[in-house]
């Protein structure tokens, strides 16, 4: 399962409530199958994936931890605290695994790339720039892992009213990451610049670095050295 020292380091860094949950699950016979620093955890955190669903704590229990259900082929739920830096995730539901296997069998083996590109083009042209941008803000594991940003082209195609709506979504979006800064830099209004200036105080270093990258003219020399 990888480096035991690295695993122990991550376990030692877990918030107390998550550590208690992990200890209870391991004592109940659950196992750790995977650890990582990618989605859903930010780069400054980590996730631990269990072999089986959590049995020692109801999903709707009140306390320091929250549970969020997912309909994903990677995992079916996550436990975290208010800081959202460390996560314990559980495996996908058996029904979903079976569905994915069933669907994969139906896929044609000789699907050419050109028809797919044509279909994507038709679908893209029928969706408004605002809707395109909204959809691009839904970050899954692949987008997180590969560092794919929001749909900047959608901003360029948007009408003034749609650009204003996109700007408000970005200003209000939390937790913020580098993608929000890249998009705000493209919009480049007074409000967008003010939001980016304030983002230099964000606790996430990736956000501060993004400001220095996408809006360097807004960053002072002292702020640049601290980011």
Phi/psi class of residue 58: alpha, beta or left (left: φ > 0; alpha: ψ in -120 to 50)? beta
pLDDT category at 169 given cuts 50, 70, 90 is very high
Domain range summary for the chain, segments of one domain joined by +: 4-95, 110-226
Phi/psi class of residue 112: alpha, beta or left (left: φ > 0; alpha: ψ in -120 to 50)? beta
How many Å apart are CA 33 and CA 197, to the nearest integer?
41
Please indicate whether residue 84 or residue 97 has the higher confidence score (pLDDT).
Answer: 84
pLDDT category at 123 given cuts 50, 70, 90 is very low
Q: What 8-state DSSP symbol labels residue 35?
A: E
pTM as predicted: 0.48
Q: Is the pLDDT of residue 117 over 60?
A: no
Counting every residue written for the chain, the total comes to: 227
Residue 111 has a pLDDT of: 38
% of the chain beyond a pLDDT of 70: 80
Q: Is the pLDDT of residue 120 over 70?
A: no
Q: What mean pLDDT is predicted for residues 129-152?
A: 87
Counting other chains too, the contacts that 155-161 makes at CB distance below 8 Å and 24 or more residues apart are 155/129, 155/183, 155/186, 155/187, 156/186, 157/129, 157/132, 158/129, 158/130, 158/133, 159/129
| Lowest model confidence (mean pLDDT) among 94-98, 137-141, 207-211 | 94-98
Q: Is the pLDDT of residue 67 over 60?
A: yes
How many Å apart are CA 32 and CA 6, to the nearest integer?
13
Report in angstroms the alpha-carbon separations of 133 from 124, 159, 202, 215.
11, 12, 24, 21
Q: What mean pLDDT is predicted for residues 24-39?
A: 88
Q: Which two tokens stand for residue 69?
A: 């259900």
Q: What mean pLDDT is predicted for residues 195-203?
A: 93
How many Å apart are CA 217 and CA 12, to the nearest integer?
40
pLDDT category at 223 given cuts 50, 70, 90 is low
pLDDT for 90-113, tens place per residue?
988 775 444 444 444 333 343 334
Q: Which two tokens stand for residue 34?
A: 């995977």
How many Å apart are CA 179 and CA 56, to the nearest integer?
37
Residue 181 has a pLDDT of: 95
Do 193 and 171 contact (CB within 8 A), yes or no?
Answer: no
């Amino acid at each position: 399962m990888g480096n035991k020292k690295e695993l122990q380091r991550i376990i030692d860094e877990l918030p107390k409530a998550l550590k208690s949950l992990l200890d209870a699950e391991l004592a109940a016979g659950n196992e750790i199958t995977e650890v990582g620093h990618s989605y859903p955890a930010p780069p400054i955190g980590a996730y631990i994936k269990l072999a089986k669903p959590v049995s020692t704590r109801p999903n709707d229990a009140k306390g320091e931890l929250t549970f969020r259900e997912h309909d994903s082929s990677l995992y079916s739920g996550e436990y975290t605290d208010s800081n959202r830096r460390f996560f314990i995730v559980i495996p996908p539901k058996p029904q979903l695994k079976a569905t994915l296997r069933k669907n994969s069998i139906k896929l044609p083996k000789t699907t050419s790339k050109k028809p797919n590109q044509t279909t994507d083009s038709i679908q893209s042209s029928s969706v408004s720039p605002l809707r395109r941008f909204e959809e691009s803000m839904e970050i899954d594991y692949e987008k997180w892992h590969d560092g794919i940003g929001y749909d900047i082209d959608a901003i360029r195609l948007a009408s003034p009213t749609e650009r204003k709506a996109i700007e408000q979504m970005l200003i209000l979006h939390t937790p913020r990451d580098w993608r929000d800064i890249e998009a705000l830099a493209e919009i480049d209004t007074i409000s967008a610049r003010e939001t980016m200036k304030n983002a230099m105080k964000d606790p996430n270093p990736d956000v501060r670095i993004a400001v220095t990258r996408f809006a360097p003219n807004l960053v002072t020399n002292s702020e640049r050295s601290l980011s």
